[in-house]
Amino acid sequence: MMRRLLAVFHARNLEFVRDRVPFAFTLLLPVMLVIGMSFVLGGPPRPLFKVGVLDGPADEHAHPFVAAEELYVQIVPLTDRDEALHKLTHQQLDLLVDFGSGTRYWVNTDSPKGHLVEKLLLADEPGARREPVTGKALRYVDWLFPGILGMNMMFNCLFGVGYVVLRYRKSGFLKRLHATPLTAFEFLAAQVLSRLTLIVAVTLILYLGIGVLIHFHSAGNPALLALLALLGALSLIALGLTVAARFSSEEMVGILLNLLTWPMMLLSGVWFSLEGSPRWVQWVAHAFPLTHLLDAARAVMLDGAGLTQIAPNLLYLAATTLVFLAFGAWSFRWRID
């Protein structure tokens, strides 16, 4: 019995090692994750306070306050006063300063960090004019909730569609369908609509159910959120179909889906904001459909954004849906050989 067991054990090990793509991916994935996270979260230690500078000089760091507290204060240049005050009321900024003619600053009186950084400013600018505002900080769970829903949608869309089409191809079901008048686009469109119905239903149940449990903050229009969920799910489902449209290897499909899901989960803002990360990381993140879905969802739920504000995100999701569907229909294979 032991000889038979060892023979199968040896054969399976050889099979895994000789299949070079999965073997290499198993070795490289942890390395890529560590390197990627070091770029996203690395760099020098981050300051304790975040101060917005409104209509300041060309070099905000030349001001004595900033120069003296450079180790503790992160400067965020801002031009839109209303947007800056909105960030301050949500405690996304600890202080807002205008270094124009006579220093003027705004502080959130509900913010403990705002109280501390105000003392630092007044030590250098005792004559600065004070403008108090109020506003409670959003809970992390309020910010995280759209990310969790979006991540769940991403995994269901990509893996739910990719492996289903792959199973159809390997079982010969697609080969039999190919003998019918059904076109590749019609087949893919039916898969998209089927998965879309399930994803939207599941997301709605989670939205309502979790809302009862944690009473998350939602200031926007529910109908706009529904439209956003539809377009986001369509884009992600179409992306999954492009992977499954041609390949017949489970290992290859699994690798490609992981290469899509892991970067999106880390860079699309599911767990943390990319504000302050390297500029090129933010550019890469904005190529992902999930980034546009989460940015728009948080804008609607947390800030009450309307259709005009999230229109660029909606257009991007719609455009990627059409591109992915067209590419999937063009590259679709009915048979393994």
Share of the chain above pLDDT 70, in %: 75
Instruction: Clarify whether residues 327 and 279 are in a common domain.
Output: yes
Q: Which pair of structure tokens corresponds to residue 213?
A: 């449990």
- Cβ atoms of 75 and 117 within 8 Å: the answer is no
54 versus 16: which is more confidently predicted?
Answer: 54
Write out pLDDT tens, residues 73-119: 777 777 777 778 777 777 778 888 887 767 788 888 877 788 788 88
Q: Do the bridges between strand 95-98 and strand 104-108 make them parallel or antiparallel, or are there none, so unpaired?
A: antiparallel
Within-domain flag for 3: no
Distance CA 108, CA 120 (A): 15
Same domain, 247 and 101: no
Separation between Cα atoms, residue 22 and residue 50, nearest integer Å: 44
- According to DSSP, the residues that pair with 96 across neighbouring strands are 52, 106
pLDDT tens digits, one per residue of 30-46: 566 556 655 555 555 66
pTM score, whole prediction? 0.69
- Is 149 in the same domain as 291? yes
| 108 phi and psi angles, rounded to 5 deg | -85, 115
pLDDT at 58: 46
Q: Are residues 178 and 210 in the same domain?
A: yes
Q: What is the mean pLDDT of residues 148-175?
A: 80
Q: What is the pLDDT of residue 190?
A: 78
Contact 60, 53 (CB under 8 A): yes
The answer as to whether 90 is a domain residue is yes
Of 133, 161, 186, the last residue of a domain is 133
Domain hosting residue 282, numbered range? 140-331
